[in-house]
Amino acid sequence: MPKNQSLHAPVTGSVVVPVILSGGSGSRLWPVSRKSFPKQFWPLLSDRTLLQETVLRGMAGGVGRPIVVCNTEHRFIIAEQLREVGVTDARIVLEPAGRNSAPAITAAALLIAEENPDAIMWVMAADAAIQDEAALAQALTIAVQAAATGHVVTFGMKPTKPETGYGYIQRGAAIEGIEGAYHVAQFLEKPDADRAAALVQDDRNLWNSGMFVVQASTILSEVARFEPTVHACVSEAVAGRSTDMDFERLAEDAFKRSPDISIDYAVAERTDLAAVVPGSFGWSDIGSWDALWELTPKDADGNAVSGDVFLDGARNCYVRSDSSVATVTGVEDLIVVVTNDAVMVAHRDRAQDVKAMVARLTAAGRPEAVRHNRIYRPWGFYESLIQGDRFQVKRIVVEPGQKLSLQKHFHRAEHWVVVEGTAIVTRDAEQIMVRENESIYLPLGAVHRLENPGRIPLTLIEVQSGPYLGEDDIVRIQDDYARN
């Protein structure tokens, strides 16, 4: 069990199941966060990734097996990140397509209800930050009490500024018998600046954190009431789910028929059961580099710095390099983020517009907009080191005990040089052990497979040669990971 001392013990008397939604592409934190590897999978505020922090937080507050609902493409990343922090019993539920939060939460509720309809779900996004875990634990205790009496409970953050990036919740009358819980007077859309300034004058108005605490049976009956099609489609998708290794894959056709709708629109803003627990636990959805700057410890000049960075006369800047050395001289209020294939510079006041820049890059067909150079696979990862007209060099790392699919290519030959570890290479009818500082040649058309039989990672350098070197020139003949 990983350490996480700041939350209190599970709430007595109720089964609380953490439900973590891993959605969103996080393009406002580009170039670190990308669709293929969005911000929840990055260690932005600690040594742990946001997903890891979130799951551990959920497990400290809950007692049921955590459920992570995610994009199919991210399943191996999630399994690996959970394994890294010792979480081995999570249910990883795969959405065949993104349909926003109402179908995702409905699916989780149905899975929980199969075992215990009275269990309480604690629904949270995988990519938010909490600064005061103890304050959150207090609020959770109250929320669980309210949920146990049939409420759909939200957390309302006491505003610290007239934020325009969040929706607001206006609390109504206190809920009798549960100190600290309130009925909801109304939900308010994200305001403009003037409206936000007015809203924060009234201490009934709270930021909507997007977290929910609710009994599985309650949310299911409310979804059935307000969005019967969502309920029907997702019920069919859950009933028809298949188990794929450690993953629970929802039935594709049924799930895709579900309307695309958020839980706020589907239920929270329409139900009579809405409740809110106000709190000040430093929640943030880390919606921009500027927000991350605010959350990060800073030097005396207000700079938040990460990686190989040299500053001279910089003030109130966020400077991060995950790659090359970066120097910053004589600037204020600037964000500079460097990855191994992109550099992003923006004024802090324009941090929200990074999203528009990513849209422009995407429209221009730039792979850097959506994918990282390093591609994670269930067996490890690979990255391109250089690409020429008729050749490409990759570094391939295979984790101990893992193997790639049995495959062949029509347009390229490959040279493999093992530089760390030991490989077993299948080449047509042969099986060959290739040791450190040995190489092997795979002619065009050869059926081949790479396996790491050892106890340490296998690193090899692959030199591809041929007229076409795209990833789609691959015929998978057999695959341990059920990929096409």
Binding interface with its own copies (CB under 8 A): 310, 312-313, 321, 324-331, 334, 336, 338-347, 349-350, 353-354, 356-357, 360-361, 366, 368, 385-386, 388-391, 393, 395, 413, 415, 417, 419-420, 436-437, 439, 441, 459, 461, 463, 465-466
Min CB(364)–its own copies separation in Å? 8
Q: Closer to its own copies at the Cβ: 252 or 332?
A: 332
The single residue listed with the structure tokens 């005990």 is 401
Q: Closer to its own copies at the Cβ: 245 or 325?
A: 325
Residue 291 neighbours by CB under 8 Å, 6+ apart: 165, 284, 285, 351
Question: Measured between alpha carbons, how far is 453 from 435 in angstroms, rounded to an integer?
Answer: 11
Min CB(223)–its own copies separation in Å? 40
Question: Measured between alpha carbons, how far is 326 from 205 in angstroms, rounded to an integer?
Answer: 42
The single residue listed with the structure tokens 């990060």 is 296
Question: Measured between alpha carbons, how far is 95 from 24 in angstroms, rounded to an integer?
Answer: 13
Residue 265 neighbours by CB under 8 Å, 6+ apart: 102
At 471, which amino acid appears? E
The single residue listed with the structure tokens 């019967």 is 228
Sheet containing 391-398: which strands, arranged edge to edge? 374-377, 380-387, 391-398, 458-465, 413-420, 439-442
Min CB(464)–its own copies separation in Å? 9
Q: Closer to its own copies at the Cβ: 239 or 343?
A: 343
| DSSP secondary structure letter of residue 250 | P
Min CB(169)–its own copies separation in Å? 32
Q: Closer to its own copies at the Cβ: 21 or 354?
A: 354
Q: Closer to its own copies at the Cβ: 341 or 480?
A: 341
Phi, psi for 380 (deg, rounded to 5): 150, -135
Question: Measured between alpha carbons, how far is 309 from 347 in angstroms, rounded to an integer?
Answer: 18
| DSSP secondary structure letter of residue 390 | S
The full length of the chain comes to 484
Q: Closer to its own copies at the Cβ: 107 or 326?
A: 326
Min CB(1)–its own copies separation in Å? 33
Check: CB of residue 188 under 8 Å from CB of residue 154.
no
- Compute and round to an integer the Cα radius of gyration of the chain: 25
Among 191, 164, 192, CA closest to 291:
164
Neighbours of 137 (CB within 10 A): 19
Q: Closer to its own copies at the Cβ: 131 or 324?
A: 324
Q: Closer to its own copies at the Cβ: 117 or 307?
A: 307
Q: Closer to its own copies at the Cβ: 50 or 314?
A: 314
Min CB(306)–its own copies separation in Å? 14
Among 68, 67, 64, CA closest to 119:
64
Min CB(323)–its own copies separation in Å? 8
Min CB(47)–its own copies separation in Å? 22
Q: Closer to its own copies at the Cβ: 359 or 475?
A: 359
Check: CB of residue 348 under 8 Å from CB of residue 304.
no
